[in-house]
Structure 1
């Protein structure tokens, strides 16, 4: 077998794991389909907490694109979970 998996057993185990994970995650988020939709879109920017300077570059590129349908920008920052 060529590619990502060494053999069919590894492939089958990975496929089983991914299927199981999808089943566990599929009902975490839900919303009512009856909500009135508005025109436009939202941009989501992922940011590494150790590289904050890149955020400014990403926002500059987004601003320069002059995206007329853009309604909101969400910035998601990675970090350690506080316990």
Structure 2
């Protein structure tokens, strides 16, 4: 089973990479962009018997810094064999 994990900075935490992206977009002439927040995307392939609790523990213990980051877990639908 494929799991997608999105890790983002919590609101109120300074995001220098997001600010740099925002500045670059502005410099390239893209107007109307009010703010940019940057994050990470992690895809993990796990066996079907890995529990939701184990996936959550992976995020809390390693994949996200719980002091300054939030995370969201998405389970990908199983693909149908051809």
- Output the TM-score relative to the length of structure 1: 0.32
- Between 1 and 2, higher relative CO (CA 8 Å, sep ≥ 6) is seen in 2
Which has more strand, going by share of residues?
2
The higher radius of gyration belongs to 1
- Output the TM-score relative to the length of structure 2: 0.32
Which has more helix, going by share of residues?
1
